[in-house]
Structure 1
Amino acid sequence: MKNSIINSIANLDQFGRKVTRFGIVVVFFWIGALKFFTYEADGIVPFVANSPFMSFFYTHPAPEYKKHMNKEGELIAANHQWNVENNTYGFSKALGVFLVTLSVFVALYKVAPIPSMIASFLIGLVTIGTLSFLITTPESWVPHLTDTDFGFPYLSGRGRLVIKDLAILGGTIITMSETARLYLSRQKSK
């Protein structure tokens, strides 16, 4: 009885790959689609503005954005206008198109294995970029206000959002590898 349960668990790896691929597709499609909404575009400003790899997309990178932040669910017209002029929404929409496109290609791995493999690789690069925010974005860590627990290793809400990309990075390696294996097996059968 015990061994049959363990055998069943030992054979879950294929199902795990499917769940991993599905998770990557859903997460990147959903987050990509959200990039078309103001609150999501506003939410990524600290990450983009502080990034040495992305701040050039904004007209006014760090530290100006701090005076023009809208909280989730808040819309202050003057802050919104500043973000329009900052290219916050233009960049966010372009990123949204990119993420949705990648998610679709990851989903279509059986139809288009090479584009899917490239999409998995690019999502891996995106996650590495996202993980770099732990170093470049001060808002990733609990600020020193009145508590004694602040800075490293105390992740803020933004930091907790970022750290999960370690798991996604592993997932992209799985989806990329699985897609490459599918492509190679098809080449052998030709």
Structure 2
Amino acid sequence: MTRLFNYAAKLQETGIHISRLALIIVLVWIGGLKAFRYEASGIVPFVANSPFMNFFYTNETPDYKTHMNKEGEYNPENIHWHEANNTYGFSYGLGAVIVGIGILIALYPVSPKLSAIGSFLAFGMSFVTLSFLITTPETWVPNLGDSEYGFPYLSGAGRLVIKDTVMMGAALVTMSQAAKKYLETKKINNSRLIL
């Protein structure tokens, strides 16, 4: 048993690198999907209800409820509504930012400083995403007759959002490692200048 714990104790660095890789994959993949209609319309309840982001849309908050497509559904009327709402334009911009954050984190081998900044941005993004648990009614099971609704009963949207706690933790760990490597590199470079 001790041998197993000794082995596990040596995996911290590996775990941090795997966490970084996971952040990169999730950010680039999910950010890239923001270029597609189904993903763009899927984030509408979060953005429309957020006091920090709702100004990106042109229509009032409750209007989106009658214009939501199911994933894979094609409804030209709803698509036209989302075009007029700036749903797609906002999603494209958000996707580019998310992919950019993933790329910054991926720069760890060549620029720990930029990677630390990317991890910091991912941490902040996760914080904003978690705020949707407070601002978005769709994150909780609605009262449709069952006694299990509201807090603490997370809906599918809520379960999706709560996972950002893991991203937040991974971003903090990778930011710390990248910042440490940057400071070590800077210290070595400064000592070379003195010599």
Q: Deviations over 1:24-58 (max 9, x none)?
A: 00000000000000000010000000000000010
Question: Which letter does structure 2 place at the counterpart of 1:84?
Answer: E
Shift of residue 113, structure 1, vs aligned partner: 2.0
Aligned position for 2:131: 132
Percent of aligned pairs with the same residue?
A: 53
Partners of 1:75 and 1:12 in 2: how far apart?
A: 47
Shift of residue 146, structure 1, vs aligned partner: 2.3
Aligned position for 2:154: 155
Aligned position for 1:79: 78
Matched, 1:188 2:187: yes
CA root-mean-square deviation: 0.8
Q: TM-score, structure 1 length as denominator?
A: 0.97
Query: Which runs of 4 or more aligned residues in structure 1 lie more than 3 Å from their structure 2 counterparts after TM superposition?
Result: none
Alpha carbons of structure 1 residues 11 and 61: separation in structure 2 relative to 1, 3 Å = farther
Shift of residue 110, structure 1, vs aligned partner: 2.0
Partners of 1:188 and 1:98 in 2: how far apart?
A: 31
Unaligned runs of 5+ in 1: none
Aligned position for 1:96: 95
Q: How does 1:26-105 map to 2 (within 5 A)?
A: 26-105=25-104
Aligned position for 2:193: none
Q: How many residues align?
A: 189
Partners of 1:130 and 1:187 in 2: how far apart?
A: 33
Q: Deviations over 1:69-97 (max 9, x none)?
A: 11111121101100000000000000111
Question: Which letter does structure 2 place at the counterpart of 1:158?
Answer: A
Q: Deviations over 1:128-147 (max 9, x none)?
A: 01000000000000011121
Partners of 2:181 and 2:169 in 1: how far apart?
A: 19
Matched, 1:119 2:80: no
* Larger mean Cα displacement after TM superposition, 70-79 or 89-98: 70-79
SS in 2 for 1:109: coil
Shift of residue 111, structure 1, vs aligned partner: 1.1
Shift of residue 3, structure 1, vs aligned partner: 1.1
Partners of 2:99 and 2:147 in 1: how far apart?
A: 41
Residues 33, 96 of structure 1: 8 Å contact kept: yes
Q: Deviations over 1:141-176 (max 9, x none)?
A: 001112111000000000000001011101111111
Partners of 1:144 and 1:22 in 2: how far apart?
A: 39
Question: Which letter does structure 2 place at the counterpart of 1:14?
Answer: E
Partners of 1:182 and 1:75 in 2: how far apart?
A: 49
